């Protein structure tokens, strides 16, 4: 099912949670709404589900305005952040709920309900726990019950609010892959909200980066990671060094690399001298004798697939993070306190006025 | 270790603790336990036969019946009102919400006598709509409807006060989940909201009922003390007492005391068994 969000605005008193938001989700797509808390992503998801009314704008399902349809008529499965399982019902009854409350003329027989619920429970690998209560389940199991319950009404659209937020790292990884398979197998159109960039980049077909109720950038995980549209996206997707620099004649030089400054967020690159910030990813910094900038190694983290260094660089307030392959790290024989030289391989420069906070 | 030391730092010496404990126990014994014991010993002071006679004479029977009738109307009325009000307050946002909460607390802050007087001023012969009621031959003051109204007024915070914090704490997520699964408003209420508040509701009903049966002040003002007709049990006790018929007064009083004890035990059981499903703050 295609979902069109058109120019949606939502206010809570004087606070604007979502401002003029427009997004098209194609059938079969898995889209992530990524942003810090307070960026309006959950509010937007709730508006799409019909749990919240937009003040302006519309949400269309396959071209039909959803405004007239109640929450229950949209065939939208919603998975809540804290699962919102019915505490006083067993796992079986939780999943059966949507089937039992269907209008009499559409309601299935008890036998059919039983068959459907048990097949959903075996899909989420919980068929042996059907008689348990939510309080007797682990976080990951509760999450899967919530999913099975949402899927019971055969939704065309699946909406998930921070679906893995409360789970530990290992369970999160497993559930992520499992959710991706489920989405593909069932031919769903899904939107999920997250503040975890890794989750969004790994799981989604497209990532919508949100800030203060509006879109900063929409693109595939590759696009948003490789070519962030704004300084905000750079900082939010993490793993980037922000280096203060001076823009002269529309460009700046960072550690031997000349970079053209870019105008964003209405902040135009001035013709003369102006303060700016250079963004450089940890893996875009090279350590080599004869490098353009002197630095001192302050910290080494060599466990894992890549080595992480923190360098002290004159003129940079924070420590600069560098990522090296294991092999390169061992070849360099680095130790803490050693003086080295670095060169930037790639960076982007924005005027200081466009940079948040 | 650190925890033990921290605990020790805020703990008094054993002597002080014992003294405080004894003081509290003596206080409870003197002001609470002893009076209850007196009620029962006085009630049975002239023997069991006299006791049975005292509570089964027609006026006493009428008082018991009236008390039960009033409670049977006031308690369900306040259950409906209490659930509706708490549902509205806890699950929705609307203008005037805090004003409504204050209004619900009103009967707790107003003297019951004044609550009764309000109804006399409203419905009494010289009251606001009293003459109109007279013309249409409707009797409210000095009759059962007045007693019911006064009782409802005095007891209406109990259910709502119990449910509001409980429902606020539970939030609206389960209801939203039910709605998103296609449940109607009624289905959501019966299948999700009500099961979640049932123990809290029972607790509120218990307290509401105890007060409804025991209320004296407000009912005294509106009842008119017509023996056999508008006398509830507490009023009957007072009349007997004023007539120096102490054994009979204590006999009827013992029924009320017994009700209080039953309420107390049921309340303790609820708190012990379902404490986590009750509201965090109790009165």
B169 touching A (Cβ < 8 Å): no
Would you say residue A73 has pLDDT above 80? no
B187 CB neighbours in chain A (<8 A) are 101
- Of A333, A214, A344, give the one whose Cα is nearest residue A279: A344
Pick B180's closest partner by Cβ from A49, A88, A102. Answer: A49
Interface test with B, best of A71, A83, A154 (most B CBs within 10 A): A71
Least confident stretch, A48-52, A131-135, B132-136: B132-136
> Is B181 within 8 Å of A73 when comparing Cβ atoms?
no
B180 touching A (Cβ < 8 Å): yes
What integer pLDDT is reported at residue B283 of this predicted model? 41
> Is A51 within 8 Å of B195 when comparing Cβ atoms?
no
B230-239 average pLDDT score? 90
Q: What are phi and psi of A167, to 5 degrees?
A: -105, 155
Tokens of A152: 């019971």
Residue A112 pairs in a beta bridge with: none
pLDDT one-digit tens code per residue, A265-316: 767 777 778 888 889 999 998 888 777 788 888 999 888 888 998 999 888 8
Q: Would you say the ipTM is above 0.85?
A: no
Torsion of CA A325, A331, A336, A340, to 10 degrees: -100
Tokens of A284: 């875009």
A98 CB neighbours in chain B (<8 A) are 181-183
Interface test with A, best of B177, B178, B188, B191 (most A CBs within 10 A): B177
Q: How many CB pairs under 8 A join A and B?
A: 62
> Is B176 within 8 Å of A80 when comparing Cβ atoms?
yes
pLDDT category at A25 given cuts 50, 70, 90 is very high
Closest chain B residue to the Cα of A71, Cα to Cα: B180
Residues contacting residue B257 through CB under 8 Å, at least 6 positions apart:
B36, B39, B40
pLDDT one-digit tens code per residue, B63-117: 999 999 999 999 999 999 999 999 999 888 888 888 988 999 888 888 888 888 8
Would you say residue B10 has pLDDT above 70? no
B239-268 average pLDDT score? 88
B189 CB neighbours in chain A (<8 A) are none
Would you say residue B277 has pLDDT above 70? no
What integer pLDDT is reported at residue A276 of this predicted model? 86
B167 touching A (Cβ < 8 Å): no
Q: Tell how strand A189-194 and strand A157-161 pair up.
A: parallel
What percentage of chain A reaches a pLDDT higher than 90? 40
pLDDT category at B2 given cuts 50, 70, 90 is very low
What integer pLDDT is reported at residue B281 of this predicted model? 46
pLDDT category at A10 given cuts 50, 70, 90 is very high
Q: Are B247 and B50 in contact (CB under 8 A)?
A: yes
A11 CB neighbours in chain B (<8 A) are none
A88 CB neighbours in chain B (<8 A) are 195-196
Least confident stretch, A128-132, A303-307, B83-87, B194-198: A303-307
User: What mean pLDDT value characterizes chain B?
Assistant: 87
Q: How far is B177 from chain A (nearest CA, A)?
A: 7
B207-221 average pLDDT score? 90
Tokens of B75: 């308690």
Residue B181 pairs in a beta bridge with: none
Closest chain B residue to the Cα of A155, Cα to Cα: B181
């Amino acid at each position: 099912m295609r979902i069109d969000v058109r120019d949606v605005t939502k206010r809570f008193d004087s606070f604007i949670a979502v401002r003029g938001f427009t997004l098209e989700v194609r059938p079969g797509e898995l889209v992530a709404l990524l942003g810090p808390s307070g960026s309006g992503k959950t509010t937007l998801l709730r508006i799409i589900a019909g749990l919240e009314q937009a003040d302006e704008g519309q949400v269309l399902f396959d071209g039909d305005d959803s405004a007239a349809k109640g929450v229950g008529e949209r065939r939208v499965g919603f998975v809540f952040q804290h699962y919102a399982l019915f505490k006083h019902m067993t796992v079986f009854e939780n999943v059966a709920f949507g089937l039992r409350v269907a209008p009499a003329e559409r309601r299935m027989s008890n036998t059919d309900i039983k068959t459907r619920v048990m097949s959903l429970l075996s899909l989420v690998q919980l068929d042996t726990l059907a008689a348990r209560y939510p309080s007797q389940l682990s976080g990951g199991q509760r999450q899967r019950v919530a999913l099975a319950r949402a899927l019971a009404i055969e939704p065309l659209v699946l909406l998930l609010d921070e679906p893995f937020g409360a789970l530990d790292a290992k369970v999160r990884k497993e559930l992520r892959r499992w959710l991706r398979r489920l989405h593909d197998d069932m031919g769903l159109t899904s939107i999920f909200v997250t503040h975890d960039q890794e989750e969004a980049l790994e799981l989604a077909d497209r990532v919508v980066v949100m800030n203060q109720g509006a879109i900063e950038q929409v693109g595939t995980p590759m696009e948003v990671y490789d070519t962030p549209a704004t300084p905000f996206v750079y900082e939010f997707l993490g793993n980037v060094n922000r280096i203060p620099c001076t823009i002269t004649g529309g460009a700046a030089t960072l550690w031997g690399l000349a970079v053209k400054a870019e105008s964003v967020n209405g902040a135009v690159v001035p013709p003369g001298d102006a303060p700016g910030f250079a963004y450089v990813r940890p893996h875009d910094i090279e350590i080599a004798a004869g490098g353009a900038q002197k630095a001192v190694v302050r910290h080494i983290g060599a466990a894992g697939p890549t080595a992480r260094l923190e360098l002290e660089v004159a003129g940079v307030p924070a420590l600069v993070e560098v990522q090296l392959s294991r092999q390169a790290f061992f070849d360099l024989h680095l130790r803490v306190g050693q003086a080295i030289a670095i060169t930037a391989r790639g960076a982007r420069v924005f005027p200081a006025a466009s940079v948040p906070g | 270790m650190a925890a033990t030391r921290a605990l020790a730092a805020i703990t008094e010496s054993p002597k002080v603790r014992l003294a405080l404990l004894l003081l509290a126990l003596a206080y409870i014994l003197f002001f609470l336990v002893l009076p209850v014991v007196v009620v029962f010993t006085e009630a049975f002071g002239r023997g069991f036969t006299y006791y049975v006679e005292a509570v089964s004479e027609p006026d006493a029977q009428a008082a018991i019946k009236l008390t039960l009738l009033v409670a049977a109307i006031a308690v369900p009325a306040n259950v409906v009102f209490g659930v509706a009000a708490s549902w509205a307050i806890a699950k929705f946002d609307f203008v005037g919400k805090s004003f409504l909460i204050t209004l619900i607390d009103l009967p707790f802050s107003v003297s019951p006598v004044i609550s009764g007087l309000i109804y006399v001023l409203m419905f009494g012969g010289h009251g606001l709509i009293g003459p109109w009621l007279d013309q249409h031959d409707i009797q409210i003051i000095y009759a059962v409807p007045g007693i019911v109204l006064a009782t409802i007024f005095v007891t209406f915070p109990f259910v709502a006060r119990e449910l509001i914090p409980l429902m606020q704490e539970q939030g609206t997520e389960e209801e939203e989940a039910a709605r998103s699964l296609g449940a109607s408003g009624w289905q959501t209420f019966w299948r999700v909201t009500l099961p979640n508040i049932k123990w809290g509701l029972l607790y509120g009903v218990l307290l509401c009922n105890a007060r409804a049966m025991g209320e004296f002040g407000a009912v005294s003002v509106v009842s008119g003390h017509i023996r056999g007709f508008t006398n509830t049990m507490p009023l009957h006790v007072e009349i007997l007492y004023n007539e120096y018929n102490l054994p009979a007064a204590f006999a009827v009083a013992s029924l009320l005391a017994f009700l209080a004890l039953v309420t107390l035990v049921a309340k303790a059981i609820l708190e012990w068994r379902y404490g986590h499903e009750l509201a965090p703050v109790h009165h």
